[in-house]
C-alpha cells in the first residue's frame, strides 16, 4: 500500500525572498510551466496585492495541472475577514487554493502583533472559514510552529486546531527561522498527529539555516506528514527553503519512500530534473553549484584513483544511483592524483577507446603532469583534457592555424573604452583575416577577449556554420604557479545550440594569451564533434 505525498512548490513566493532575486511576471510563468511539467501538486505563485509583479502574474496565470495557490496572511484584528483589504487582494486573485500564514508562537502574537492570544485564534478561524465560504481550498501556514511548540505546546496546538477546525485542507508546520533539528521536527510532527490532525492533512515547510532543511522534511514525512513544501535549487529567505531538486530524487529512488509513497513526479519527468534546475540558474544568471546533490556537475565526478578503477568494474561501487536517472552524467576528472584506470575511464566517456597497457596511456599521463606543472588544470576543463589526449593519440585533426592575432584596448578621458581585435587564420593554403570590435547590442565594450572571440568566429571558411551557435557562458581566471613564475590560468565554459556545455583551459603569463588559447580549444573541441575530420 502506498500513500500519496503532495509536493508544494514555493519558488515563486518564498523563493522570491532570496537576496538578489526578483522574478518578472513572464519569468514566473516560465518557471510555473516547468514545475507543472516536473509534476508538483501545488504552485504558490506569490502574494497578490503585495507588489505589482505578483498581481500581474495572477492576472494572467498559466493553465496548470498543478493547483495554483495564492499566498497571504490571516486577517488583522479589529475588522472582519470580509473587510480586510489585504485578505481581499489575495482572494480576488481567484486561485483554486489559498495559503494563509498565521501565528502559532505565543511570543510572536504578543510581541510582533501585540494582540491577545485568543484574538489571534479568532483571526485564524475567521480567515480560514472565509476561504471555505468563497469555495477555495484553504491551507494554513503555521508560522514558527516548532519554536512555538517548544515555548508553549498547548497554545501552538490550539492555533493549528483553530485552522483545522475551521476547515483548512492542509495545516503546514513551518520552521520559519530554520533553527529546528530533525529529531525535534519528528517528535513535534508526531505530537500534532497524536493531537488529532491526521498526517494526510499535515504539511512541512523548512528552511536551511542549520543545513538540515531536507532532513527535517524527511523527518516530518517519517512522522506521517503528507505534504512537503520547498523550492527549486533551494531558493528562499536567508539560507533558503528545502531544495526540491534534492528531495524529489530521494523520495522516488530511496527506501522506505520509494516503496511506500507516491508523488506526481514520474520516472520520466525525473530525467528532466537537471534541465529544470539549470533553467532556473539561467533565468537568474547564476553559475550552477557544482557540488549540488544529484544534479551538480561534480555529483558523479570520481577524482580518487581507487574509486575510478572500481567504477570501471562496476559503477555501483562508488555511485549511490545511476546518474542518468536525474539527467546527469558520470565524470572522471583528470588530476595528478589519477592513475591509468582513471585515464581510460575518462577517455571512454569522451568516446575514445584505448586498450589497457597501451603505451599511449603513459604518454598522456606524462603530458598531463607536465602541463599541470606549467599551471594547467584539467579536472575543471574536460574538453581540453580530451584535446590533449587526442594529440598524444594522433587523433587531433588540424582544422585551421592561427597565424597572428592582435588586440588593442584604448580609453580616452570621459569616453567609453574601445577594444579591437585582428585575427589571421590559415585553412589549408588559404589565409583569411578578420577584424572585430567588442561592442554589444547596447553599445558597451565587452573587452579584449570578446573582441578576439568575435574576430575568430567571423570567418572560419568551411567551418563557419558549425561554430555559429557557439557562445561563451563563463570565464574564470586564477593566478597560479607555472614552474617558478606566476601565470594566469583561464577556464572558459562554452555552450552551443544543441545544449552541449564544455570547458577549456589556457595558461600564460599574459591573460589575453591564456584566454585566446582556451578559446581556440573550445572551437576545436566543437569542430571535432560536428565535423570529425577536415
Round to whole Å and give the CA distance between 278 and 289: 10
For 374, the 3-state DSSP assignment is coil
* C-beta closer to its own copies: residue 18 or 227: 18
Q: Which distant-in-sequence residues (6+ apart) come within 8 Å of 20 by Cβ?
A: none
The nearer residue to its own copies, 289 or 360, going by C-beta atoms, is 289
State in angstroms the smallest separation of the CB of 219 from its own copies. Answer: 8
Q: How far is the CB of 337 from its own copies (least distance, A)?
A: 6
- Asked if 448 and 421 count as a contact pair (C-beta separation under 8 A), the reply is yes
In the complex, the smallest distance separating the C-beta of residue 177 from its own copies, rounded to whole angstroms, is 4
Least Å from the CB of residue 31 to its own copies: 17
Query: In terms of CB distance, is 71 or 170 closer to its own copies?
Result: 71
Q: Which helix (H) or strand (E) holds 435?
A: strand 430-437
Nearer to its own copies, 98 or 223 (CB): 223
- Which helix (H) or strand (E) covers residue 456, if one does? helix 448-458
Instruction: Point out which residues pair with 73 in neighbouring strands.
Output: 101
- Output 96 or 481, the one with its CB closest to its own copies: 481
Nearer to its own copies (CB atom), residue 65 or residue 238:
238
* Cα 42 off chain centre by: 20
State in angstroms the smallest separation of the CB of 508 from its own copies: 7
Q: How far is the CB of 504 from its own copies (least distance, A)?
A: 14
Least Å distance between CB 178 and its own copies?
6
Which is closer to its own copies, CB of 391 or CB of 411? 411
Omega before 256 within 30 of 0, i.e. cis: yes
Residue with cell 491526521: 198
| Alpha-carbon distance values, 164 to 76, 125, 336, 433 (Å) | 19, 9, 61, 74
CA atoms of 166 and 514, how far apart (whole Å): 67
State yes or no: cis peptide before 524, omega within 30 of 0: no
Least CB distance from residue 372 to its own copies, whole Å?
8
Question: Exposed/middle/buried for 354, CB within 10 Å: 0-12, 13-18, 19+?
Answer: middle
Query: Which is closer to its own copies, CB of 268 or CB of 314?
Result: 314
- Tally the C-alpha atoms within 13 A of residue 292's C-alpha that lie toward its C-beta: 24
Amino acid at each position: 500500500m502506498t500513500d500519496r505525498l503532495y509536493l508544494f512548490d514555493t519558488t515563486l513566493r518564498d523563493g522570491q525572498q532570496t537576496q538578489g532575486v526578483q522574478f518578472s511576471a513572464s519569468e514566473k510563468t516560465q518557471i510555473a510551466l516547468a514545475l507543472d511539467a516536473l509534476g508538483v501538486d501545488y504552485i504558490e505563485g506569490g502574494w497578490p496585492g503585495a507588489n505589482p509583479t505578483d498581481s500581474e502574474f495572477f492576472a494572467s496565470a498559466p493553465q496548470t495541472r498543478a493547483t495554483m495557490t495564492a499566498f497571504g496572511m490571516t486577517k488583522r484584528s479589529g475588522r472582519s475577514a470580509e473587510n480586510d483589504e489585504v485578505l481581499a487582494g489575495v482572494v480576488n486573485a481567484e486561485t483554486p487554493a489559498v495559503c494563509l500564514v498565521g501565528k502559532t508562537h505565543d511570543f510572536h502574537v504578543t510581541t510582533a502583533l501585540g494582540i491577545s492570544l485568543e484574538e489571534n485564534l479568532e483571526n485564524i478561524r475567521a480567515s480560514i472559514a472565509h476561504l471555505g465560504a468563497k469555495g477555495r481550498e484553504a491551507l494554513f501556514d503555521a508560522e514558527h510552529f516548532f519554536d512555538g511548540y517548544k515555548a508553549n505546546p498547548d497554545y501552538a496546538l490550539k492555533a493549528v486546531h483553530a485552522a483545522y477546525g475551521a476547515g483548512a485542507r492542509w495545516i503546514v508546520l513551518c520552521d520559519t527561522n530554520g533553527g529546528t533539528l530533525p529529531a525535534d521536527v519528528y517528535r513535534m510532527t508526531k505530537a500534532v498527529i497524536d493531537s488529532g490532525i491526521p498526517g494526510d492533512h499535515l504539511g512541512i515547510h523548512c528552511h536551511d539555516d542549520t543545513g538540515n532543511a531536507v532532513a527535517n522534511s524527511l523527518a516530518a514525512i517519517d512522522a506521517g506528514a503528507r505534504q512537503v513544501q520547498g523550492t527549486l535549487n533551494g531558493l528562499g529567505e536567508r539560507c533558503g527553503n528545502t531544495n526540491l531538486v534534492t528531495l524529489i530524487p530521494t523520495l522516488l529512488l530511496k527506501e522506505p519512500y520509494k516503496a511506500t509513497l507516491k508523488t506526481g513526479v514520474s520516472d520520466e519527468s525525473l530525467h528532466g530534473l537537471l534541465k529544470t534546475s539549470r533553467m532556473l540558474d539561467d533565468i537568474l544568471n547564476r553559475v550552477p553549484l557544482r557540488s549540488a546533490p544529484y544534479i551538480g556537475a561534480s555529483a558523479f565526478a570520481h577524482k580518487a584513483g581507487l574509486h575510478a578503477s572500481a567504477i570501471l568494474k562496476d559503477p555501483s561501487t562508488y555511485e549511490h544511483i545511476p546518474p542518468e536517472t536525474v539527467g546527469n552524467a558520470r565524470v572522471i576528472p583528470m588530476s595528478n592524483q589519477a592513475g591509468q584506470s582513471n585515464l581510460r575511464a575518462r577517455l571512454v566517456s569522451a568516446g575514445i577507446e584505448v586498450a589497457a597497457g597501451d603505451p599511449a596511456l603513459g604518454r598522456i599521463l606524462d603530458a598531463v603532469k607536465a602541463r599541470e606543472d606549467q599551471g594547467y588544470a584539467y579536472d575543471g576543463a574536460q574538453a581540453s583534457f580530451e584535446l590533449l589526449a587526442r594529440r598524444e593519440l594522433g587523433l587531433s585533426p588540424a582544422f585551421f592555424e592561427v597565424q597572428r592575432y592582435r588586440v588593442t584596448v584604448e580609453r580616452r578621458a570621459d569616453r567609453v573604452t574601445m577594444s579591437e581585435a585582428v585575427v589571421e587564420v590559415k585553412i589549408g593554403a588559404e589565409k583569411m583575416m578578420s577584424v572585430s570590435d567588442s561592442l554589444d547590442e547596447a553599445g558597451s565594450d565587452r573587452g579584449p577577449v570578446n573582441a578576439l572571440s568575435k574576430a575568430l568566429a567571423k570567418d572560419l571558411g568551411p567551418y563557419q556554420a558549425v561554430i555559429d551557435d557557439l557562445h561563451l557562458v563563463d570565464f574564470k581566471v586564477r593566478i597560479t604557479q607555472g614552474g617558478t613564475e606566476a601565470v594566469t590560468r583561464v577556464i572558459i565554459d562554452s555552450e552551443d545550440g544543441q545544449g552541449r556545455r564544455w570547458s577549456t583551459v589556457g595558461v600564460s603569463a599574459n591573460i589575453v594569451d591564456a584566454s585566446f588559447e582556451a578559446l581556440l580549444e573550445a572551437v576545436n573541441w566543437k569542430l571535432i564533434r560536428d565535423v570529425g575530420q577536415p
